[in-house]
Amino acid sequence: MNRNASVVWKGTLREGTGTMTTESGVLSDTRYSFHTRFAQGIGTNPDELIAASLGGCFSMFLANELGLSGFHPQRIETTATATLDDLAAGWTLTHIQLDVHADVPDASQAFFMDAALAAKTKCPVARLLKTNISMTASLTNDLRRVPKTSEANALRRRVNERKRRVFPANLHNSKDRMKPDK
């Protein structure tokens, strides 16, 4: 099975612009540029598309893992945050954080965590990426209690900024962080 996307870039890195089009047509001449990647602008960027790909693949694989064990997820919400850092070797996608919340009737927290870890390591996009993927996962019967994505992202940014000041970059994301519901 092959999936195709085409890209056209015109101009220099900082002044140029490009478009992305996918075979499915979901992206059709979708704009991207230096500004959409490193500042603010209208359009997308490769990093958020990678995050979306991993989040989508992970969620599908988690649904499969749960289904194989007889559980039927009502809803899986995954936020994938890609971190792009300026390293000595150049800009590098160094980390992707997955935050998943799911409503899975009759599943225990322990079973859900096992299924989430399996999905994180086995989904095809995660196997392709050569970056650190960490995850928080919570099982809930009422997803209305889950913080809005913008609130969760703001909190995660503050936490990650503190970590970068305290821990060396190669240590602070070395293990999965699993947080059960309170």
Cα distance between residue 52 and residue 55, in whole Å: 5
Q: How many domains does the chain have?
A: 2
Same domain? For 158 and 70 the reply is yes
Three-state DSSP at 89 gives coil
Cα distance between residue 133 and residue 95, in whole Å: 6
Q: How many CB atoms lie under 10 A from the CB of residue 79?
A: 17
Phi/psi of residue 9, nearest 5 degrees = -120, 135
Same domain? For 113 and 176 the reply is yes
Same domain? For 67 and 113 the reply is yes
CB 33 within 8 A of CB 41: yes
In order along its 182 residues, the chain shows pLDDT tens digits of 889 999 999 999 999 999 999 999 999 999 999 999 988 888 999 999 999 999 999 999 999 999 999 999 999 999 999 999 999 999 999 999 999 999 999 999 999 999 999 999 999 999 998 788 899 999 887 655 445 555 555 544 554 444 343 333 333 333 343 334 43
Same domain? For 40 and 67 the reply is no
Range of the domain at 157: 45-182
Three-state DSSP at 36 gives helix
Same domain? For 62 and 33 the reply is no
Amino acid identity for residue 41 in this structure: G
Spatial strand order in the sheet of 5-10: 5-10, 17-22, 30-33
Same domain? For 174 and 101 the reply is yes
- Eight-class DSSP state of 136: E
For residue 175, the model assigns a pLDDT of 38
* CATH label of the domain that carries residue 81: 3.30.300.20
For residue 157, the model assigns a pLDDT of 52
Same domain? For 82 and 54 the reply is yes
Same domain? For 126 and 116 the reply is yes
- Residues 6+ positions from 52 with CB-CB distance below 8 Å: 80
